């Protein structure tokens, strides 16, 4: 039983050829990811420099492109400090718990292949295969599972440091990441509804010929997914986890040397893989015009990388532009806006697809769904308003009492 | 191969379970629980249930244990407990006795199931037993459902069987009442927890446990 992959290369059993293909894929994907992280850190620093009217890294290599390499070498040779108050075992474990999920997620991303006119397979040494390390049955659920594992790295790092600021950072991180995972999963469900499969290859294949989920599912799931992904990545404007002005460095305050570098690596790796996941889910992955028939598979990779660059640019752009949100605003947005919105939209899409199956007129289905969802939305708003009013009343009552409270022994 | 995977997973699962009980530190106990959940997820994979494996990791390891750890950190109970004090007299011998009794009963039941009936592939109780022997390319569940459902793909190994489809079919047909009632129970539990956590504020305005201004609370104590 082939639990792990639907890849056509492994259908006829697992021999030497298949093992070689797998090894080449793993090494290529890992190397790509590492180089991409190196370039991404340089890209972010350079771009933010431009946006803030500075030069940015300029000395190491042409345009400072080797700056990250120099920083990495420097971090390797720094002294590795472990705080006396820390829990030594967990303190050493946490960076790896952060890094491993970041690496694993990239395995399910299709990075190339001709999906526009073909089925996305390429031929290596006479074996048809996909341009992705693995295509498991659970596909996109692996991404969700790994992004929920990533919480542990941040959380345990903060706790094991045995220090106040990291602990505050990790408490914020765990609440934020668990909350936004719900919105992430619900907006993902809309994509799965239109794709009818969990496998990333099938999701991309279903979007071939510009039927991208961005407009097939309406723009809403994409918007929710993008916002929730930004929060899941702890990127600005949602980087309360490492808010410098409040928490020093957040969860990694006490880390130094290569352990700190591992956190840094995992963070940027997550940015890249999450952008790749967004491209896969909503923008058709490698789908795009095939300009030369000779190397059709190559164009898939070209379009994939271009789309990836767009999202990486947007993430940097957000960081340079938006001020950090307040923590209660963040939680309000997650629970009271994004989750109801994505849930309502999912129900709407479900009603629409059932209506089409049964042959009901679209206009009637839309009218009834909008009415039902509007009623639900009004109820939700009333509940939120009532809660707010009650909280304000209690706060007002509490504000009148501190004199009383202060006298108590 | 499968035996090797099972052996490794069994060691992880049982080791983690022991760690949950034995570890004096709540955080280590929670981490051992994560190891156990991961081992069980891998066992699900070897039983051709990748969907259950993914859900196990997402829900249990990704959300529930994270909340455990969150509470442990937030309440600051992250230090070793003093095991000498026993708030409820005689609970430890009772726990050992009940545990051993449950284990013996479970083993007896397993032996009875393994040797006796149930192996006839009857849908209600025989499903887990039916999965084990035939794990070629489709599970016992899909075999059981094949004749009754046009939704489940043919079980001849040419087409990958959708695990989710099987789970969804069971959850929304045969076990729809159990599923909905469980959901209702969880909702009631959540509402109850919210009511309990908020109720004290109305009764006692300057209660420091539920006070809206936590930074003044330590001084009031």
pLDDT higher than 70, residue A11: no
In total, the C-beta contacts within 8 angstroms joining chain A to chain B are 102
pLDDT higher than 90, residue B184: yes
Probe site for chain A from B1, B50, B72 (most A CB atoms < 10 A): B50
User: Looking at the complex, does the CB of residue A148 fall below 8 Å from at least one CB of chain B?
Assistant: yes
How many angstroms away from the CA of B49 is the closest CA of chain A?
Answer: 9
Q: Whole-angstrom Cα distance, residue A284 to residue A207?
A: 5
Which of A75-84, A186-195, A358-367, B147-156 is the least confident region?
B147-156
Tracing tokens 């489709």 back to the chain, one arrives at B138
What percentage of chain A exceeds 90 in pLDDT? Answer: 5
Q: Which of A408, A340, A352, A328 is nearest to A380 (CA)?
A: A340
Sequence length of chain B is: 221
List A122's β-bridge partners, or say none.
A129
What is the residue-averaged pLDDT of chain A? 82
Q: Whole-angstrom Cα distance, residue B202 to residue B196?
A: 11
Give CA angle at B125 (B121, B127), nearest 5°: 55
Q: Whole-angstrom Cα distance, residue A215 to residue A210?
A: 9
Interface of A with B in 339-368 (CB under 8 A): none
B212: nearest CB among A171, A178, A395: A395
Residue A203 confidence (pLDDT): 84
User: Looking at the complex, does the CB of residue A173 fall below 8 Å from at least one CB of chain B?
Assistant: no
Probe site for chain B from A2, A148, A165, A357 (most B CB atoms < 10 A): A148
Mean pLDDT, to the nearest integer, of B158-170? 67
Residue A10 confidence (pLDDT): 65
List A220's β-bridge partners, or say none.
none
The alpha-helical segments, DSSP class H, found in A52-139 are 67-76, 88-105
User: What six digits make up the tokens of A260?
Assistant: 């700190």
What pTM was computed for the model? 0.79
Task: Determine how many CB atoms are found less than 10 A away from the CB of residue A395.
Answer: 12
Residue B101 confidence (pLDDT): 92
Phi, psi of A128 (to 5 degrees): -75, 135
Mean pLDDT, to the nearest integer, of A317-328? 85
A148: nearest CB among B62, B70, B73: B62
Helix (H) or strand (E) holding A130: strand A127-130
Q: Whole-angstrom Cα distance, residue B185 to residue A3?
A: 34
Q: Which has more pLDDT, B58 or A406?
A: B58
Residue B127 confidence (pLDDT): 42
What is the residue-averaged pLDDT of chain B? 71
**Contact yes or no for B206 and A90 at CB 8 A:** no
ω into A237 cis (within 30 of 0): yes
Residue B77 confidence (pLDDT): 64
Q: Which has more pLDDT, B155 or A196?
A: A196
| pLDDT tens, residue by residue, A21-44 | 788 888 988 898 888 888 899 899
Residue B132 confidence (pLDDT): 40
User: Looking at the complex, does the CB of residue A248 fall below 8 Å from at least one CB of chain B?
Assistant: no
Helix (H) or strand (E) holding B186: helix B176-203
How many angstroms away from the CA of B114 is the closest CA of chain A?
Answer: 24
How many angstroms away from the CA of A140 is the closest CA of chain B?
Answer: 10
User: What six digits make up the tokens of A332?
Assistant: 């309000």
Q: Are A247 and A169 in contact (CB under 8 A)?
A: yes
Mean pLDDT, to the nearest integer, of A295-323? 86
Interface of B with A in 156-185 (CB under 8 A): 160, 162-164
């Amino acid at each position: 039983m082939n639990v792990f992959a639907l890849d056509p290369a492994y259908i006829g059993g697992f021999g030497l050829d298949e093992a070689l293909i797998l090894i080449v894929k793993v090494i290529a994907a890992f190397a790509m990811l590492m180089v991409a992280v190196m370039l991404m850190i340089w890209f972010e620093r350079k771009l933010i420099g431009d946006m803030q009217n500075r030069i940015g890294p300029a000395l190491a290599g042409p345009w400072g492109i080797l700056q990250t390499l120099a920083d990495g070498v420097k971090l390797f040779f720094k002294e590795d400090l472990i705080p006396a108050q820390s829990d030594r075992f967990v303190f050493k474990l946490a960076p790896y718990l952060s890094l491993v999920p970041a690496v694993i997620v990239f395995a399910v991303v299709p990075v190339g292949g001709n999906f526009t006119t073909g089925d996305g397979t390429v031929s290596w040494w006479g074996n048809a295969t996909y341009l992705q390390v693995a295509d498991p049955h659970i596909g996109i659920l692996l991404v969700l599972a790994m992004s929920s594992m990533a919480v542990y790295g941040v959380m345990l790092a903060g706790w094991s440091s045995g220090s106040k600021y990291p602990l505050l950072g990790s408490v914020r991180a765990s609440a934020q990441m668990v909350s936004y995972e719900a919105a992430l999963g619900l907006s993902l469900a809309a994509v799965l509804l239109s794709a009818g499969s969990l496998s990333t290859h099938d999701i991309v294949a279903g979007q071939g010929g510009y039927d991208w989920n961005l407009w097939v599912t309406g723009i809403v799931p994409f918007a929710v997914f993008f916002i929730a992904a930004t929060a899941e990545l702890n990127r600005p404007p949602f980087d309360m986890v490492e808010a410098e002005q409040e928490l020093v460095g957040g969860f990694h305050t006490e880390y130094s040397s290569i352990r700190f570098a591992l956190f840094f690596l995992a963070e940027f790796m997550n940015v890249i893989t999450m952008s790749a996941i967004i491209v896969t889910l909503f923008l058709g992955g490698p789908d795009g015009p095939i300009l030369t028939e000779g190397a059709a598979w190559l164009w898939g990779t070209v379009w994939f990388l271009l789309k990836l660059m767009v999202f990486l640019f947007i993430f940097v752009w957000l960081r340079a532009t938006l001020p950090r949100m307040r923590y209660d605003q963040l939680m309000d947005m997650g629970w009271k806006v994004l989750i109801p919105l994505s849930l309502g939209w999912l129900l709407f899409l479900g009603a629409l697809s059932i209506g089409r199956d049964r042959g009901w007129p679209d206009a009637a289905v839309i009218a009834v769904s909008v009415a039902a969802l509007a009623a639900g939305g009004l109820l939700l708003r009333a509940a939120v308003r009532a809660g707010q009013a009650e909280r304000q009343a209690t706060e007002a009552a509490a504000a009148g009492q501190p004199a009383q409270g202060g006298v108590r022994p | 191969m499968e035996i090797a995977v099972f052996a490794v997973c069994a060691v992880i699962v049982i080791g983690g379970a022991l760690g949950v009980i034995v570890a004096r530190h709540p955080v280590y106990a929670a981490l051992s629980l994560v190891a156990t959940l991961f081992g069980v997820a891998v066992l699900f994979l070897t039983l051709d249930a990748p969907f259950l494996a993914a859900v196990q990791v997402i829900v249990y390891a990704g959300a529930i244990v994270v909340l455990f750890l969150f509470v442990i950190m937030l309440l600051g109970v992250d230090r070793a407990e003093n095991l000498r004090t026993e708030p409820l007299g005689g609970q430890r011998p009772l726990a050992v006795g009940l545990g051993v009794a449950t284990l013996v009963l479970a083993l007896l039941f397993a032996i009875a199931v393994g040797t006796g009936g149930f192996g006839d592939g009857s849908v209600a109780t025989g499903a887990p037993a039916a999965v084990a022997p035939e794990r070629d390319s489709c599970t016992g569940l899909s075999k059981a459902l094949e004749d009754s459902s046009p939704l489940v793909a043919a079980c001849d190994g040419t087409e990958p069987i959708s695990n989710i489809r099987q789970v969804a079919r069971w959850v929304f047909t045969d076990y729809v009442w159990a599923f909905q009632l469980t959901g209702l129970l969880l909702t009631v539990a959540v509402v109850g927890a919210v009511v309990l956590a908020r109720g004290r504020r109305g009764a006692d305005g300057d209660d420091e446990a539920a006070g809206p201004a936590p930074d003044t609370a330590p001084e009031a104590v």
